[in-house]
Amino acid sequence: MKKSIIVIFALLVFSIQSYSQIKIVTTIPDLKSIAEQIGGERVDAFSIATGYQNPHFVDPKPSYILKLAKADMFITVGLDLEIGWVPPLLNSARNAKIQKGGEGYVDASINIPLLQVPTSVNRGEGDIHIYGNPHYWLDPLNGKIIAQNIYNALARLDPEHQSEFQARLKKFNETIDVKIKEWESKLAKYKNTKVIVYHNEWPYFEQRFGLKIVDFLEPKPGIPPTPSQLAKIIGIMKRENLKIIINSPYFTSEATDLVARNSGGKVVTLATSVGAYPSIKNYFDLFDYNVYQLLSVFQ
């Protein structure tokens, strides 16, 4: 008897709580993590992509449509990063609130100082970075802009709790400021270290922490490494005495290992998103992890 009362009470509390929470669906876990930092217990967030998936290519499963149909807010990286999978999901969800222009639609890229914006939009030769480089969340300072965009939407949808969101935003920004100093000072000794990367997804990280990306294993973003590209990279590494190749969790190690073997270099796999590895539970852990990994190959 007592047990069943407890269960009923628990269910009641749970249903009241979930009723009042803002249901958020994000495309990548980094946006989910930041939304949770700003929304606290007022939000119930779900990320479609996992942290070890390539965010350009995600399988749009039917279960995501259900999540989107019930969502109050949808947060996207934008810049066509998710062009292959978000439009079909949003269309099927038929939820006006979270369609582009709806009160719950958040393009996290608003006000981000973009890098590598081409002078003309061109999908030619399979390039998938047509509006500029979309991997902007890999600079923690851009995390503050993302947080502001999410805050604006939360304040709009739930004005009653605006001061709470504002306090959380302030705390998030302060934490970023403190952590950035810590990450920068740890990497300061290795400023301008030249590296090779697999996919062109590190320019924001490079700019913040002073690496020098020399070239990519992909001949163009989204085009898998070709034998001629790999031969070219091996040549550059030998000639310029480069030692470090950066891989991402969702690429096999075949190409990076081949280049390492033939150039005498070392491969380091960095996390591109929250959840890429079990220890990366939030947006701050992402940079803790990557700084630690880089230090271990630089030393």
**Interaction site with Zn ion (CB under 5 A):** 201, 221
Residue among 106 and 197 whose Cβ is closer to Zn ion: 197
Torsion of CA 77, 79, 85, 90, to 10 degrees: 70
Closest approach of Zn ion to the CB of residue 135, in Å? 6
Closest approach of Zn ion to the CB of residue 26, in Å? 17
Angle at 62 (CA atoms; ends 59, 64), nearest 5 degrees: 80
How many Å apart are CA 145 and CA 135, to the nearest integer? 14
Residue among 78 and 221 whose Cβ is closer to Zn ion: 221
Angle at 273 (CA atoms; ends 173, 32), nearest 5 degrees: 60
Residue with tokens 């949003």: 90
How many Å apart are CA 273 and CA 30, to the nearest integer? 6
The residues pairing with 75 across neighbouring beta strands, listed in sequence order, are 26, 106
Residue among 104 and 134 whose Cβ is closer to Zn ion: 134
What radius of gyration do the chain's Cα atoms show? 21
How many Å apart are CA 208 and CA 144, to the nearest integer? 14
Closest approach of Zn ion to the CB of residue 274, in Å? 17
Region label for 79, one of left (φ > 0), alpha (ψ between -120 and 50) or beta (otherwise): left
Residue among 70 and 123 whose Cβ is closer to Zn ion: 123
Residue among 157 and 196 whose Cβ is closer to Zn ion: 196
Closest approach of Zn ion to the CB of residue 126, in Å? 12
The residue among 279, 192, 293 whose CA lies nearest residue 247 is 293
Closest approach of Zn ion to the CB of residue 97, in Å? 29
Residue among 223 and 258 whose Cβ is closer to Zn ion: 223
Closest approach of Zn ion to the CB of residue 202, in Å? 10
